[in-house]
Amino acid sequence: MFSAFDLDDGGSIDRKELSKFLFSSIVGLCKLLGLPNPSYTGIQKYTYEVFAEVDEDNSGSVDFNEF
């Protein structure tokens, strides 16, 4: 699962990678379920909240152990 988020295979997940993954996943699920797409701003806000929670050492990236 970590590899799916680590889009550049750099060994960690940054906010941009998390944002791309969440945006694609959320929009895809909305399409499958026939729901309206949430706003890009809403997804960005959610991304920042999730990232702040999992980046335990506040390094700006999430490593495998934090994930």
Write the CB contacts of 20 (distance below 8 Å, at least 6 apart in sequence). Answer: 7
CA distance 51 to 20: 13
Q: Is 62 exposed, middle or buried (0-12, 13-18, 19+ CB in 10 A)?
A: buried
Q: Are 20 and 51 in contact (CB under 8 A)?
A: no
- Note the pLDDT tens digit of each residue in 32-60: 999 998 998 998 998 899 999 999 999 99
Stated pTM of the model: 0.76
- Per-domain residue ranges of the chain: 14-63
Write the CB contacts of 35 (distance below 8 Å, at least 6 apart in sequence). Answer: 29
**Residue 4 pLDDT more than 90?**
no
